[in-house]
Structure 1
Amino acid sequence: MTQERPHFVIAKDNIHVRDTDFDGGGSTYRRNDYYSHGQTLIQGIKSVQQRMRTSSDYFKDRSFLEIRLASEEKLKERYKNLLLNSRITILDLVNESVGYAAIKAEDIALLESRLKEYSETENHVGKSYFSFIEEIRPVPVQNRISANLRKVIEERPTDYVKVSIESFSSLPSEAREYGILNQIDSFMKQNQGELTGSYIHSTGNVVIEGKVMASIAQTMVEDFDSIRNIELTSKLFLPRVESLSDNFPEVKIKPLEGNAAVCIFDSGTTSNNDLLNEYIIDRIQAINSHGANKYHGTFVASRIIFRDKLLDQLARGELTPFAKVLDVRVFGTDQNGDDIGLDESDLVKLVRKTVHNFHRNIRVYNLSLGFVNPITDETALDDSQVSRLAAELDNLSKTYDVIFVVSSGNINSLYNKLGNVPYPQHFSEDSTRILPPGESFLNITVGSIATNFQIGALAELNHPSPFSRRGPGFAGTRKPDIVCDGGNVTTSGHRDVRIAASALGENTGDIAYDVGTSFAAPIISSYAAELFDRIPDASSNLVKAQLIHFSTIPTEMSTFNRPNKFEHLGFGEPNLSLCLESLKSKASYIFEGSIAQQKYVKIPFWVPSILASDASRNNRKKLKVRATIVWNPPTDRRKFTEYSLVHLWPNLFKVGANGNEEMLQLTGLEECSYREKFCPVIRIEKQFERSFSGGLWSFQLRMSTRWDVPEDYEQDFAIIVSVEDPDDTLDVYGEIINEVGIRYQTLSRVSR
């Protein structure tokens, strides 16, 4: 009988917390001519006030403005000063020194009087309040119209276009709930336009969707000061797949063990396959459509229920179900048979409602879909700001402690690209980057690798699937997070079922074959659902940490002919069994906790003495320490590239050769290590061959924040630390039990 080795759990009683020793500071910006500077600011605030008076907005209780700071000054360091002394509230960050802000009408006179005092008094009273401000002015109209819409306005002003309108977030509640919506609706109708949907984003911005003549879109921005941005509506994209199918004889199905469940937002599932029906919790029709092509949704559901080894299971004559599926249909077909999907506003409201209603029983939500640019049909990813849907998913994940699993997206017109540039050089184009909402920070984005190879296949074994979109994600983050089998394609373009992904088809007894990241994501969704089901009280931080920590880059990637393999594979392909159990030579520790501001949290783990004392391996690697830290920070898309508001800083303490504790510099790390400031995943891998002893090592964490994170905010996190024998020969797990077994409990798991 195989020996069980559940991971060790670090008890909260063993965690050491102490105060940090950081002090704050500030500086004053000096000018040669304070009088002229003050007069310039006064004229700026007067022009903002005049703009408010002429705006068509029915509420006149506040003005929106652009504020620019002096060279090398940063808004994140001055925003509290601006709020307290200028009564200016920063809303959106354009770059480090430029932002959009709001000031209430009742505060403008006070600001003017203070600026007058600053400008005209002998000592220029208030220098520390105002000298660092370079300019105040109304937000320019052109800055509030997206580049792709501006192009349409210039080239085809009479075209009717679908637009998304986003208000500033600082609107009074009455204006947010009714005022701006009614005004925009009225404006559109007066100009032969149409309002099609709306919702209030988690950041407080009102989002309105509609159809209007391009030139009228510009007039709308000129008339309404409360409009923060107007852009062409991104298209919700679902890969159009063609069915290749086969048949199989009757099979047995094992009983489903446990209560793992996944919700899918997709094209719907067929009711014609009796092998799937038993595992469909419910079918929710969320879109009104003439018809529905349910092939894609059925394929996704099958991959969640029976996973990716379907053909092996069929060869044995027995299927093993792993999870149930809640089917929410968000795509359909029109009278011409063309695909239609929900608008962004309807999709966001639906996802919110679904998660609110089901989060207690369903912790994983699969989105094998994405948004493309309506002009180019390529990725709608924006390097300056995360998409509204990605931000909404992050907010829901944190609020309800759930995980969204999102496909990275497929490359459109793959063979057209390959006609100009061969695989894998075609990935050099920026247009091959991931689709939104795959840039989500708190959730899991999944790419595809080719786990099958035959002569004529385009990708080699365990190389990135040629169609799988790559990273980086927003602000240079590592995306996709992980990868899984999504199929391979041929050099000729002809389909080969031997290298494709497989699933149950639309009718009982059918096997379907296809390729796509859409079919890699549901495997990870199924894994995540099982981890939630098998580990009582697991948080989304822990489940995400497990899937990342126990992922590896395939060895075959050493022959992949592109420099940055992490753009394609993220942290690698996860091993579900390792998520649940340590190995003889590789023991893992798990801790979930929280950290307050101005505190150090020290998390201890034991390194057995056998790893330091093995004399047979002198001058060779004796120890590998691997750690993964995941947290769910508050986020704010209005802060653009400073979207994530909390970072955790790690330090590693070892026991030195003399037996004393030493803090290590985290240098000389393994290639797969990852530490990007304010990205909520840290991966550390380091090997040791000398100058260390067994004993109590530790990771120490410190939190830093930016913008308006409350002082009493505590950040939840999960950390997994693995202590490993690089030669894979020593009984590391057994030695930990022998030396300090009483110190650690083992991870509670529901057996299968």
Structure 2
Amino acid sequence: MEGKNLPIIVVMQKDSDIERNIPRGGVKFFGDVTPEVQTKVCQDLENVQNYYKDVFEENDKVPAVGKVVVKEEAIAKSHKPRDLFRYCPIIGTEDLNEIYVKVTKKGIENTIELTKMPTSEKVKANLTVVKEILPIKTDDVISKNLLINKDEDDFSKIKKKIKIKLFDFDDPFDNEQINNYVLSKLKDIGLENSVKKITYGERINYLKVEVQSYEQVERIASINGVKNIDFFRDYSLPVGDVFSKSVPDWKYDSNVRTAETVIGIIDGGISDNKFLASNVIAREEYVDKAYQNREHGTFIASMIQFGNQLNGINENDARLFNFIDIVAIPNSDEKYGPVDSINEEELMEIIEDTMEKYSEKAKIWNLSIGIKDRTCTDKMSDLGVFLDYIQDKYGVQIFVSSGNTKEDYLREWPLKGVETEEDRIVPPADSLRAITVGSIANKESDDTYVRMFQPSPFSRRGPGISYNIKPDVVDFGGNVHMDGTTKNVGVIGLNSAGECVEGVGTSYSTPRVLQKYACVYDDMKDKDTLLTKAMIIHSARMNSRDLFEKNQDLIKYYGFGMPSTNSSDILQCSDDEVTLVFRQKVSQGFHLEMVDFPYPKSLIYNGKYHGEIGMTLVYNPILDVNYGSEYCRVNIDASFGTYKYGPDGKVEYKGQVPIETSWDEKYEKSRVENGFKWNPVKSYYRKISNRGINVEDGWKVRIDMSPRSGMVPPQEFVLIVTIKDPNKNDIYTEMVNGLRDRSYILNNLETRYQIRQRQ
């Protein structure tokens, strides 16, 4: 059978798949509980109590915060010292080895008594976890970026947009007490008339303050309850050269069908040129006409609409999309006209306002912006957190670029020299709900930094927070000559006059992936943003099998790879492969087991299993900004492997498709294992060698879910499994028949292609 024209199979969940977890027993000690250990903990607690003495004497209802630093080897969630700190409850975390606890005078006294006379083995084990306990001091509160701007000239630019975050005690009474306490202290400093409260949802809360001097910032930082002081960033459009480009083969075809799916673009605006004007069905203008520059937004829209045709990329089902045009970002190019920027606070307001109006009509949004002077490292950016909140609240999928490096930092390939943090992704590319897109080169010449299909010299890399994979995927965004110019090695789009021009940047690779996502979403009968995300990432990963087989560490630059151009290649199978979708949910305290799972007969010979297996797992975990590096609060793991019955009748199971977790040696193993494993997008892959896998009693699929703490609702997930036969046998039919013979409930993933074939 030629080509891909067979439907993807959806495996439905059965009650019999649900199994209760077997509790794990025992506690783990990280040293001996000696008098010296107990004395050290007591002394640390007494120091914290003395530090907050004035706070407790002023009002004993006002809580304070202690920072518990745990030993590096004890950063796993199961080792959190909850029993020891039962009177000073955990309210959050920062780095993976730092825990915030609520402290009061009485709570500290009770914890000291518990330390002196432990009441259980768990308390004793908790004592061996603790490295030190500290109060929150001024140096902990002031951000590095604010510290860099403390000089008078720099500070004058940001003093009217100081951002304060308070500790969240996860208790309405405590939060009210600390809020009133901080406001009273701001009044003492003389700032009561310059405070503005900013709130989004339950977890995003800021105080915006105008100060007169850096000395006032230091006084704010000394207030009990203040967690962080930073400033609201300004955002502007990327500035880059574009060149006129002749594309003689491109002709606008007015007969191309218009998709049902609508796309939103939050940018500098789409021009009313003859090729795009008729597809802009709504527009909101937040930028004064004098400061508008629609070149960037027009290029983005044209990449979605005509990017394949303009760049000579074959597609088998061209379509046009209607747009909602949000003119939000002012001009930043002095050569174009008056320049301005947009404040982070204003941008958040615009995005929220936009979603209130248009999220029902448009579920897919492009936002190609970033901050050049702040790379993403150990904690989520505020805009990244905000975009996660927006996507959860309004059920939309946002696409963001990984960001472009500074002009004086362009990367050759293979990488030369020592890897630095200069080219890490920038906010809001760390958004976990968003699909973050990097760039690879579509052209090359003798004097370009990189070859075709290699990471563009300007494309920022991962990882994201807690070693999460960012960018998620890549697409064509151009190259750079060694002299810094980009002519003839970029991607082609349209300018505001409707003329063909060439440019480079992750801003232009991002809409290319968005277009692929929109086509898949548009072709699904039942629209599903999470499933579409999983399909796009799975396509990218399966296209990158050879790349990552050579070096898994390339995932920092490529994400999971580049998705296929045509939605039919993503949504359909050929007969020598079978793709299964598990769109299910798993509950706390349980796991899913699909036993006696079939394996294609053509891939079983000489007493061995053979073939190629790729799996992609995607889910939207509960997120909590109060927990810093532990922002993701739920972990799901998937496993596909073989089992056999031992002599005693017990089942011996072995996962046969490993998760991909390769990172640099400079990252400590414990941090990778306890950070990366919470990644809400996971990839598993195995190309079984000629030696094969020994035939056992059967295969099974297993799904496990574990929260970091507390009770969580059932967690939805998408698992996609593709099995391929390198010998091109018809394993599709074998797999479908095998599933039916074992009473699995199957549906075809209904798409426009299947509907059209039935007509």
TM over 0.5: yes
Contact 2:456 2:478 survives alignment (8 Å)? yes
1:338 Cα offset (Å): 5.2
- Return the alpha-carbon distance in structure 1 between the equivalents of residues 662 and 147 of structure 2: 42
- Corresponding residue of 2:511: 522
Q: In structure 2, do the counterparts of structure 1 residues 559 and 666 end up closer, same or farther at CA, with 3 Å as the change threshold? A: closer
Question: Does 1:608 pair with 2:600?
Answer: yes
Contact 2:643 2:654 survives alignment (8 Å)? no
Instruction: Name which of 633, 637, 640 aligns with 2:628.
Output: 640
Residue pairs, 1:626-705, within 5 angstroms: 626-654=614-642, 663-666=653-656, 676-688=676-688, 689=690, 690-691=692-693, 697-705=699-707
- Return the alpha-carbon distance in structure 2 between the equivalents of residues 232 and 725 of structure 1: 55
Letter in 1 for 2:634: V
The one-character-per-residue Cα deviations of 1:164-218 (angstroms, maximum 9, x if unpaired) are 3222223858959996897698688759x96688444752432426464223211
- Return the alpha-carbon distance in structure 2 between the equivalents of residues 549 and 681 of structure 1: 10
SS at match of 2:55: helix
Letter in 1 for 2:384: A
SS at match of 2:24: coil
1:286 Cα offset (Å): 2.8
Q: In structure 2, do the counterparts of structure 1 residues 695 and 456 end up closer, same or farther at CA, with 3 Å as the change threshold? A: farther
Letter in 1 for 2:49: I
Question: Does 1:325 pair with 2:315?
Answer: no
- Return the alpha-carbon distance in structure 1 between the equivalents of residues 546 and 216 of structure 2: 52
Deviates more, 1:298-307 or 1:665-674: 665-674
Instruction: Name which of 439, 442, 448 aligns with 1:448.
Output: 439
Residue pairs, 1:315-354, within 5 angstroms: 320-333=318-331, 337=337, 339-354=339-354
Contact 1:365 1:405 survives alignment (8 Å)? yes
- Corresponding residue of 1:139: 136
Residue pairs, 1:404-483, within 5 angstroms: 404-414=398-408, 417=410, 424-425=415-416, 428-483=419-474
1:679 Cα offset (Å): 0.8
Q: In structure 2, do the counterparts of structure 1 residues 35 and 188 end up closer, same or farther at CA, with 3 Å as the change threshold? A: closer
- Corresponding residue of 2:92: 91
- Return the alpha-carbon distance in structure 2 between the equivalents of residues 339 and 284 of structure 1: 20
- Corresponding residue of 2:493: 503
Contact 2:197 2:208 survives alignment (8 Å)? yes
Contact 1:622 1:726 survives alignment (8 Å)? no
Contact 1:669 1:686 survives alignment (8 Å)? no
Question: Does 1:745 pair with 2:747?
Answer: yes
The one-character-per-residue Cα deviations of 1:5-27 (angstroms, maximum 9, x if unpaired) are 11111122386111111235447
SS at match of 2:583: strand
1:140 Cα offset (Å): 0.9
SS at match of 1:161: coil
Question: Does 1:493 pair with 2:484?
Answer: yes
Unaligned runs of 5+ in 1: 374-379
SS at match of 2:221: helix
- Return the alpha-carbon distance in structure 2 between the equivalents of residues 371 and 176 of structure 1: 35
- Corresponding residue of 1:268: 269
SS at match of 2:436: strand
Question: Does 1:241 pair with 2:230?
Answer: no
- Return the alpha-carbon distance in structure 2 between the equivalents of residues 555 and 70 of structure 1: 39
1:561 Cα offset (Å): 12
Contact 1:447 1:484 survives alignment (8 Å)? yes
Q: In structure 2, do the counterparts of structure 1 residues 241 and 702 end up closer, same or farther at CA, with 3 Å as the change threshold? A: same
The one-character-per-residue Cα deviations of 1:681-706 (angstroms, maximum 9, x if unpaired) are 22111233434569973320111111
Letter in 1 for 2:715: Q
The one-character-per-residue Cα deviations of 1:652-705 (angstroms, maximum 9, x if unpaired) are 2337899x9863244777899999311112211123343456997332011111
- Return the alpha-carbon distance in structure 2 between the equivalents of residues 406 and 482 of structure 1: 11
Q: In structure 2, do the counterparts of structure 1 residues 183 and 280 end up closer, same or farther at CA, with 3 Å as the change threshold? A: farther
- Return the alpha-carbon distance in structure 2 between the equivalents of residues 732 and 559 of structure 1: 25
SS at match of 2:422: helix
Question: Does 1:388 pair with 2:382?
Answer: yes
Letter in 2 for 1:731: D
The one-character-per-residue Cα deviations of 1:491-534 (angstroms, maximum 9, x if unpaired) are 3333323x3111122124x1121111100111111222222222
- Corresponding residue of 1:377: none
Q: In structure 2, do the counterparts of structure 1 residues 561 and 451 end up closer, same or farther at CA, with 3 Å as the change threshold? A: farther
Question: Does 1:44 pair with 2:41?
Answer: no
1:226 Cα offset (Å): 2.9
- Return the alpha-carbon distance in structure 1 between the equivalents of residues 551 and 25 of structure 2: 44
- Return the alpha-carbon distance in structure 2 between the equivalents of residues 460 and 73 of structure 1: 44
- Return the alpha-carbon distance in structure 1 between the equivalents of residues 218 and 342 of structure 2: 26
- Corresponding residue of 1:229: 228
Q: In structure 2, do the counterparts of structure 1 residues 16 and 740 end up closer, same or farther at CA, with 3 Å as the change threshold? A: closer
Deviates more, 1:696-705 or 1:664-673: 664-673
1:353 Cα offset (Å): 3.4
- Corresponding residue of 1:376: none
Contact 1:161 1:213 survives alignment (8 Å)? no
- Corresponding residue of 1:32: 35
If the length of structure 1 is used for normalisation, what is the TM-score?
0.83
Cα-Cα RMSD = 4.3
Instruction: Name which of 147, 150, 155 aligns with 1:150.
Output: 147
Deviates more, 1:174-183 or 1:324-333: 174-183
Q: In structure 2, do the counterparts of structure 1 residues 668 and 650 end up closer, same or farther at CA, with 3 Å as the change threshold? A: closer
Q: In structure 2, do the counterparts of structure 1 residues 735 and 279 end up closer, same or farther at CA, with 3 Å as the change threshold? A: same
Letter in 2 for 1:147: K
- Return the alpha-carbon distance in structure 2 between the equivalents of residues 682 and 296 of structure 1: 33
Contact 1:371 1:435 survives alignment (8 Å)? yes
Query: May I ask how many residue pairs the two structures share in their alignment?
Result: 716
- Return the alpha-carbon distance in structure 2 between the equivalents of residues 200 and 750 of structure 1: 38
SS at match of 2:66: strand
Letter in 2 for 1:624: E
Q: In structure 2, do the counterparts of structure 1 residues 448 and 663 end up closer, same or farther at CA, with 3 Å as the change threshold? A: same
1:597 Cα offset (Å): 1.4
- Corresponding residue of 2:734: 735
Contact 2:56 2:105 survives alignment (8 Å)? no
- Return the alpha-carbon distance in structure 1 between the equivalents of residues 115 and 695 of structure 2: 65
Contact 2:623 2:633 survives alignment (8 Å)? yes
- Return the alpha-carbon distance in structure 2 between the equivalents of residues 611 and 319 of structure 1: 34
The one-character-per-residue Cα deviations of 1:430-480 (angstroms, maximum 9, x if unpaired) are 111111111222321111111223444332121111111112222222221
Unaligned runs of 5+ in 2: 664-671
Contact 1:446 1:480 survives alignment (8 Å)? yes
